[in-house]
Amino acid sequence: MSAVPEPAAETVVMKFGGSSVADPEKIRHVARRLVQARERGVRVVSTVSAMGKTTDSLLELASQVSPHPHPRELDMLLSTGERVACALVAMAVHDLGQEAVSFTGSQAGILTDSVHTRAKIRQITPVRVLQALDDGRIVLVAGFQGFSRDTMDVTTLGRGAGDLTAVALAATLGAACEIYSDVPGVFTADPRLVPDARKLETVSYEEMLEMAASGARVLALRAVELARGHDVPIHARSTFSEEPGTWVQDVAGMEEPIISAVTHSEDEVLFTLRGVPDRPGVAAAIFEAVAGEHVSVDTILQNAVHGSAELSFSVPREDVVATRKALDTAQESIGAIEIEEVGDLGKVSLIGAGMRSHPGVAAQMFRTLADEGINLRLISTSPIKITCLVGSDEVEGAVVALHRRFLSGDAASGRSE
């Protein structure tokens, strides 16, 4: 992202998700928030997602017209959702007496590669954004989209990438980054499962990355990665309240909590491959094929038994078809293997940067789950995360028990032990 000279006044990028602009009243509410910020004297750039479930509806519409929509045309179609929302917010800002202007991703100078439906941002040249800010306007930028100079076509950045647009703009403009949604921040667990889950004041980038990768839906994974890379603190907060939310930022040097959160996801499918030839290059061939289908795999486990290897990995249910296709491709080069698929699984993860320096967390986690009678299908760890694959009907009980053990009032008071 190209550096821009520091402006005299502070700039803020305010991102609103689809549920925050779902109807005309909400759009006017967002406009009021933008105007309030402008009246405090800051330069306001806002990126807004498509209204409500618009992107889903457009995808559905495309699939009714064509079984395999042409990717370029899909991007032409999907990019309209954000444009609609931005233009409407700009109108509502005008009615409140402030100047506003909306831009498409391309007008805002968001340049991407030319991979349709999952383009990567290469660079932002925000000439028109800066000009409009200098003119005192509130600037609306359509999220989730850009423009490829190679093909001169509109691209989209992948589902949920409105957050990515916001972080990329903040990094380029040297701006603060506020991501507004219908939840008040990042919680110690999903409050729908755990009513006494607490909102976290701060979370480190690396914890947030693990949380986003293991089921927390507050922020998109790619956006957190970009924020970490460019050191852009993110303030994740509610559209509908003034209350501070959660800061996702670099907390190095601060004393880190042992456990910050329990996350979960349902609908995992476990693939187990048996009779896999035990020689160099086989795992590479399998996972190259899987990556070729754009499936991101989690929790890979391999062990060798009697001269051949057994390999297990989990994927989200929506990636099962692509995974099967990849395994067909892989078998062309490595030969036939036995493939077993187990559905009806879910993942529960404990996340905390302080885990690194506190042995024994895994044992405590397994004991807590054992006491609930929960059987663990697969375990995987990173230095700051422990994940267990369990039956999907056991996910809720596991989350509740782990939160009680590690994060509820009593457990939390012993956190710095």
Instruction: Please report, as ranges, the residues that interact with Mg ion according to CB under 5 A.
Output: 18, 49
Nearer to ligand ASP, 161 or 374 (CB): 161
Q: Decide the pairing of beta strands 234-238 and 378-382.
A: unpaired
DSSP string across 107-156: TTTEEE-S-TTS--EEEE--HHHHHHHHTT-EEEEETTEEEETTTTEEEE
**Helix axes 71-95 and 24-39, enclosed angle (nearest 10):** 60
CB proximity list for 383: less than 8 A, separation 6 or greater: 355, 356
Compute the least distance from the CB of residue 185 to Mg ion, in Å. Answer: 19
Compute the least distance from the CB of residue 18 to Mg ion, in Å. Answer: 4
Nearer to ligand ASP, 159 or 317 (CB): 159
Nearer to ligand ASP, 50 or 224 (CB): 50
Nearer to Mg ion, 49 or 408 (CB): 49
CB proximity list for 227: less than 8 A, separation 6 or greater: 167, 171, 177, 205, 233, 234, 248
Distance separating alpha carbons of residues 218 and 211, to the nearest angstrom: 9
Nearer to Mg ion, 15 or 116 (CB): 15
Binding partner selected for residue 161 from Mg ion, ligand ASP, none, CB under the kind-specific 5 to 8 Å limit: ligand ASP
Nearer to Mg ion, 51 or 399 (CB): 51
Q: Decide the pairing of beta strands 110-112 and 145-148.
A: parallel
What radius of gyration, in Å, describes the C-alpha atoms of the chain?
23
Show the CA angle centred on residue 44, arms to residues 43 and 47, nearest 5°.
150
User: Which residue type is seen at 97?
Assistant: G
Instruction: Please report, as ranges, the residues that interact with ligand ASP according to CB under 6 A.
Output: 17-18, 49-50, 55, 81, 143-144, 159-162
Q: Which residue has the closest beta carbon to Mg ion?
A: 18
Nearer to ligand ASP, 159 or 325 (CB): 159
Compute the least distance from the CB of residue 162 to ligand ASP, in Å. Answer: 3
Nearer to Mg ion, 49 or 387 (CB): 49
For residue 223, count CB atoms less than 10 angstroms from its CB and return exposed for 0-12, middle for 13-18, buried for 19 or more.
buried
Distance separating alpha carbons of residues 75 and 77, to the nearest angstrom: 5
Binding partner selected for residue 105 from Mg ion, ligand ASP, none, CB under the kind-specific 5 to 8 Å limit: none
Distance separating alpha carbons of residues 214 and 385, to the nearest angstrom: 9
Compute the least distance from the CB of residue 80 to ligand ASP, in Å. Answer: 11
Compute the least distance from the CB of residue 278 to ligand ASP, in Å. Answer: 41
Binding partner selected for residue 173 from Mg ion, ligand ASP, none, CB under the kind-specific 5 to 8 Å limit: none
Compute the least distance from the CB of residue 81 to ligand ASP, in Å. Answer: 6
Nearer to Mg ion, 49 or 106 (CB): 49
Compute the least distance from the CB of residue 351 to ligand ASP, in Å. Answer: 23
Compute the least distance from the CB of residue 53 to Mg ion, in Å. Answer: 7
Show the CA angle centred on residue 358, arms to residues 356 and 359, nearest 5°.
100
Hey, which bits of 143-207 come out as E strands? 145-148, 153-156, 176-181, 202-204
Reference 144, options 254, 64, 65, 222; nearest CA is: 222
Tokens coding 124 = 């932002």
Compute the least distance from the CB of residue 168 to ligand ASP, in Å. Answer: 13
Tokens coding 188 = 């110690």
